[in-house]
Amino acid sequence: MGIRVAVAGASGYAGGELLRLIAGHPEFDLVAATAHSQAGRPVAAVHPQLSGLNLMLTATEPAELADADLVFLALPHGQSGALAAQLPAGTKVVDLGADHRLADAAAWELYYNSAHAGTWTYGLPELPGQRERIAAADRVASTGCYAVATVLALAPLLRSGIAAADDVVVVAASGTSGAGKNAKTHLLGSEVMGDLSPYKVGAHQHVPEIKQATGALSLSFTPILAPMPRGILATVTARPLGGADPREVLQAAYADSPFVHVLPEDVWPHTAATAGSNSAHLQATFDVDSGRIIVVSAIDNLGKGAAGQAVQNANLMYGLPETTGLSVFGVAP
């Protein structure tokens, strides 16, 4: 028997992708998959892509997770704090939700409109020193989907001092799975297909997370819902302060990161090229007119933006190579 793993929120999009990755992981054994309204149904009835995985969804209760060495929480915001507090102290936990990401309780309450559950080790291994912190942690708060795409593009620019921390603009498009498997009118096919729409304009909940992870002082962030199931494409621009070329700064920052790829010159990221992988694709240049630094970043929101990132964190928590059970390569087109 390997590491006994449970997924809470297994009927959702992030939970389903976690099940797929865990089923193919050489060191993880799936022992429980829990759900809310879908509890009592077979996994394959909810996730047909997982036909052949013979497991029932049980109710999301501490007793259902108690036998696991490692628990992934893929629950709606506000649901993981109370559950995590009832798990045995020795259980390792990776939370895909936002509940434990922010150190600033006031920012949490402002953006999430609920009580702050506390702060865990931030699960973005590509930040300096973070692999070691994650490896030493029992509880890890995996990153937000837009935050991964943005922080990977922005953090090296601010760390190296080549961009101004008080003048950052981000416009990012996400596929609809980023909104979860919910019956919401704005997510209907007839609303989404053939349409691009901005939402949460001027007040997205990932802004404080991005600022915390990068040291950005001021950030304009505009998300766009895109007519595709998966993927995030973020365009990050910042005022240059002089110094090194941004592309070279990114290359140096991620030289030892197996999942972050600065593409060959003049090749720009596409979401489809990251689908099914845990990779992030980056490209950078200067804007000819304004002189601003432009970095474009693409990820699979369910991969590096959610389930893949969570498995990468769990690998580090168990001293495994961070790539174990994860694909560097995308599946499309």
Ligand X SMILES: CC(=O)N[C@@H](CCC(=O)OP(=O)(O)O)C(=O)O
Ligand Y SMILES: NC(=O)C1=CN([C@@H]2O[C@H](COP(=O)(O)OP(=O)(O)OC[C@H]3O[C@@H](n4cnc5c(N)ncnc54)[C@H](OP(=O)(O)O)[C@@H]3O)[C@@H](O)[C@H]2O)C=CC1
Residue 13 interacts with which of ligand Y, ligand X, none, CB < 5 to 8 Å by class:
ligand Y
Size of interface with ligand X, in residues (CB under 6 A): 12
Q: Does 56 bind ligand X (CB under 6 A)?
A: no
Site string for ligand X, 80-119 (x = CB under 6 A): -----------------xx---------------------
How many whole angstroms separate alpha carbon 295 and alpha carbon 241? 15
Considering beta carbons, is residue 144 or 308 the nearer one to ligand X? 144
* Residues numbered 212-241 forming contacts with ligand X, rule: CB under 6 A: 223, 225
Token duo for residue 166: 């008080």
Residue 76 interacts with which of ligand Y, ligand X, none, CB < 5 to 8 Å by class:
ligand Y
Q: Does 123 bind ligand X (CB under 6 A)?
A: no
Nearest approach in angstroms of CB 177 to ligand Y is 5
Considering beta carbons, is residue 74 or 219 the nearer one to ligand Y? 74
* Residues numbered 167-186 forming contacts with ligand X, rule: CB under 6 A: 174, 178-179
Nearest approach in angstroms of CB 134 to ligand Y is 17
Q: Does 16 bind ligand X (CB under 6 A)?
A: no
Q: Which of 145, 225, 260, 317 is catalytic?
A: 145
Considering beta carbons, is residue 216 or 262 the nearer one to ligand X? 216
User: With contact defined as beta carbons under 8 Å apart, do 64 and 39 qualify?
Assistant: no
Nearest approach in angstroms of CB 11 to ligand Y is 4
145 catalytic per annotation:
yes
Residue 173 interacts with which of ligand X, ligand Y, none, CB < 5 to 8 Å by class:
none
Q: SS3 for the chain, per residue?
A: CCEEEEEECCCCHHHHHHHHHHHCCCCEEEEEEEECCCCCCEHHHHCHHHCCCCCEEEECCHHHHCCCCEEEECCCCCCHHHHHHCCCCCCEEEECCCCCCCCCHHHHHHHHCCCCCCCCEEECCCCCCHHHHHHCCCEEEECCHHHHHHHHHHHHHHHCCCEEEEEEEEEEEECHHHHCCCCCHHHCHHHHCCCCEECCCCCCCHHHHHHHHHCCCCEEEEEEECCCCCCEEEEEEEEECCCCCHHHHHHHHCCCCCCEEECCCCCCCCCHHHCCCCCEEEEEEECCCCCCEEEEEEECCCHHHHHHHHHHHHHHHCCCCCCCCCCCCCCCC
Nearest approach in angstroms of CB 41 to ligand Y is 8
Query: By the criterion CB under 6 A, which residues form the site for ligand Y?
Result: 9-15, 35-38, 60, 74-77, 79, 96-97, 144-145, 177-178, 180-182, 301-302, 305-306
List of residues contacting ligand X (CB under 6 A): 97-98, 144-145, 174, 178-179, 200, 205-206, 223, 225
Catalytic residues: 145
